[in-house]
Amino acid sequence: MSQAPSERWKPVRLAAKVIGHVSQGMYRTPAGAIKELVSNAYDAGATYIKIHTGFPTFGEFTCEDDGSGIHPNEFTRLMMGGIGDSKKQSSRESRVGRFDRPIIGRLGVGLLSLAQICSEFKIVSYHKASRKAFAASIRFPAYTRKDVDSAIKKAAKSGEKFIETGQYSLKPIKYVEGQTGVTITTTFVREAFRKTMGNLAHFGNLRFNKTNRSYAHFGEFLDSISNPELSALFFLSPYDQFLFGLGLAAPLPYPETDGQTRSTCVLSVPGVVKLQKTLKSYNFSLEVDNVSFRRPVVLPSNKLGTRTDQCELSGSPVSETFKLVDGPHESEQKVLKYVVKVDNSDEKYQLLWLSYEARVNGYPMKFSGYVFNQTTRLFPKEYQGILVRLRNIAIGQYDPNFLVYPQAEGPRFSMVSSEIFVEEGLDDSLKVDRDGFNTLDPQYIRLQAYIHGLLHDIVFPSIWEEEKPRNERRRAARRRSNMKRFAKNVSRITKTKIKKVKVVSGSTAEDENVAEVDTRSGTVFINSDKAESSGVFGRKKFNGIAQQVIAAFEIAVCEPTVEKRREVFYQLLRGVFE
């Protein structure tokens, strides 16, 4: 460490074209950056990656995997301009890794994401195949927008293919028999990362379990983030958000009932059961601060705290069709619809299983997935929307705009949660930061058209349909309780006893009033066909209020003096709008 840089340190050469990538990638969230390390371990055939964030001070960040390790020559190649030139996926065979995992890496820029978290890191690698090991250190400058712009200018001017930015040093170490994998230790964690993560004022464990120790197990974390008191993860600490983002992004199976974790209702759909089996067969685990992670998806997730075990999925699905319209391309698509019944409730949730396969823009495209909806808002908010996964890695977070759904659906957007599993295609629509898609890519546009068609033709109409009778029942109950309150006010303020207000129609004698108070039956009759009342009952929504206002007026005019009439009317009116 104490030697002069010139003696041991060599410059890191970045292919000039990479600088542009870096500039796009540098605004990633901590989870987005660390997900690259998880992907690399997974690609290297590791059965685990163990991450230590340095909680609660976040002064040192480490990760360790038991993958293939890196050959020292490959590492040197990377440092000598090989960044941005991934050798993964160069052939058909290399697209599938150990345990039949679909390989994630394509570009060769993932490692650079570490530059966002630290200015210097150490990497120790044991490469089992060659029985070679090395320890290296890398120093990265902070890639600010200004640095990147000036580097691009410089490279363009001189026509250079490489840019020297940062330094690295490498020394071989003795290979230890049986040892395999990579360990990364960050020695200089960036101030911004440390400060952001170190803000634990809203740490979930502190808020819900009154302790500031880190989560003891995954169930504890899951309970915190799906606590019905929490409207959005935004209100928890950046550390909670980091854990959620990383767990969501990683190629992990869903939680299962095993005492500590619980399963999610979507698991019982055959499509997800099959996916779960595949995910488990990848034999990959992620540990963060000694907590073994699963996919942190909890559905349903509402304010009432409705649990998975209160939901029952209808055994046999029905097939439904919708129209997929993508420019001149039109086709009919089928999805499977399952009804989810909720114990002791008139609510009915819905789960759709979808799959699609076609050639788009000359290349194959294949995806499957589910769209789940409940009858009220999903909490925390971060489950609302659609999450697209490429080779099991999440691209960004749930998108609450549903790939820019063009129509207004009000609160119904917030009741829907969906995951789309892309098996083939969309690679070229992926942005370099792997947090989003190029929205002009034909395959992305096809996916978008599919989702929009499905939401428009099936999902939203069935939510409306499901809501209608329940909303009608709730409105009727509200009307009844309002009327009760009104009647109570009337008997408190005047001596008149009434039970209800009734709207009648039909022509009556000219001299009859709009309303009559029938004290015997305790009913105020309002005639909606009189000239005075015409148009008052035009909007169904306001009928209840209109009735009470008219009744208040008619009751008030029965009072003997002008002052008394005015007093009673305003008192009754106050009760109406209370």
Binding site for ligand ATP (CB under 6 A): 36, 39-41, 43-44, 65, 67-70, 74, 78, 86, 88, 105-111, 182
- Residue 88 contact among ligand ATP, Mg ion, none, beta carbon within 5 to 8 Å by kind: ligand ATP
User: What six digits make up the tokens of 122?
Assistant: 């150490």
Nearer to Mg ion, 125 or 237 (CB): 125
Question: Long-range contacts: 25-29, Cβ < 8 Å, 24+?
Answer: 25/109, 25/112, 25/113, 25/116, 25/432, 25/433, 26/115, 26/116, 26/143, 26/145, 26/148, 27/433, 28/113, 28/116, 28/433, 28/435, 29/241, 29/242, 29/245, 29/435
Q: Are 239 and 54 in contact (CB under 8 A)?
A: no
Closest residue (Cβ) to Mg ion?
110
Nearer to ligand ATP, 44 or 403 (CB): 44
- Residue 422 contact among Mg ion, ligand ATP, none, beta carbon within 5 to 8 Å by kind: none
- Residue 335 contact among ligand ATP, Mg ion, none, beta carbon within 5 to 8 Å by kind: none
CB of 163 to ligand ATP, least distance (A): 16
Dist CA 125 CA 172 (whole Å): 10
Dmax over CA atoms of the chain, in Å, equals 110
CB of 106 to Mg ion, least distance (A): 8
Element (H, E) at 132: strand 132-139
CB of 33 to ligand ATP, least distance (A): 11
Nearer to ligand ATP, 48 or 537 (CB): 48
- Residue 286 contact among ligand ATP, Mg ion, none, beta carbon within 5 to 8 Å by kind: none
Task: Identify which of 559, 577, 572, 569 has the alpha carbon closest to the alpha carbon of residue 487.
Answer: 572
User: What six digits make up the tokens of 107?
Assistant: 């570009």
Nearer to ligand ATP, 67 or 575 (CB): 67
Nearer to ligand ATP, 102 or 380 (CB): 102
The stretches of 282-383 forming alpha helices (DSSP H) are none
Q: Are 426 and 365 in contact (CB under 8 A)?
A: yes
Dist CA 96 CA 91 (whole Å): 10
> How many Cβ atoms sit within 10 Å of the Cβ of residue 458?
20
Q: Could you list the residues that contact Mg ion (CB under 5 A)? A: 39-40, 105, 110
Nearer to ligand ATP, 19 or 200 (CB): 19
SS3 405: coil
Q: Where are the beta strands (DSSP E) in 465-573?
A: 500-504, 515-518, 523-527
CB of 101 to ligand ATP, least distance (A): 13
- Residue 396 contact among Mg ion, ligand ATP, none, beta carbon within 5 to 8 Å by kind: none
Dist CA 174 CA 206 (whole Å): 45
Dist CA 162 CA 155 (whole Å): 8
Nearer to ligand ATP, 70 or 551 (CB): 70
Across the chain, how many H-helices and E-strands are there? 14, 20
CB of 161 to ligand ATP, least distance (A): 18
- Residue 108 contact among Mg ion, ligand ATP, none, beta carbon within 5 to 8 Å by kind: ligand ATP
Task: Identify which of 197, 140, 192, 190 has the alpha carbon closest to the alpha carbon of residue 164.
Answer: 140
CB of 272 to ligand ATP, least distance (A): 27
User: What six digits make up the tokens of 528?
Assistant: 């909606």
CB of 103 to ligand ATP, least distance (A): 8
Nearer to ligand ATP, 320 or 424 (CB): 424
CB of 40 to Mg ion, least distance (A): 4
Residue 518: exposure state from Cβ atoms within 10 A (0-12, 13-18, ≥19): exposed
- Residue 443 contact among ligand ATP, Mg ion, none, beta carbon within 5 to 8 Å by kind: none
- Residue 182 contact among Mg ion, ligand ATP, none, beta carbon within 5 to 8 Å by kind: ligand ATP
Nearer to Mg ion, 72 or 108 (CB): 108
CB of 24 to ligand ATP, least distance (A): 12
CB of 82 to ligand ATP, least distance (A): 8
Nearer to Mg ion, 83 or 189 (CB): 83
- Residue 65 contact among ligand ATP, Mg ion, none, beta carbon within 5 to 8 Å by kind: ligand ATP
- Residue 68 contact among Mg ion, ligand ATP, none, beta carbon within 5 to 8 Å by kind: ligand ATP
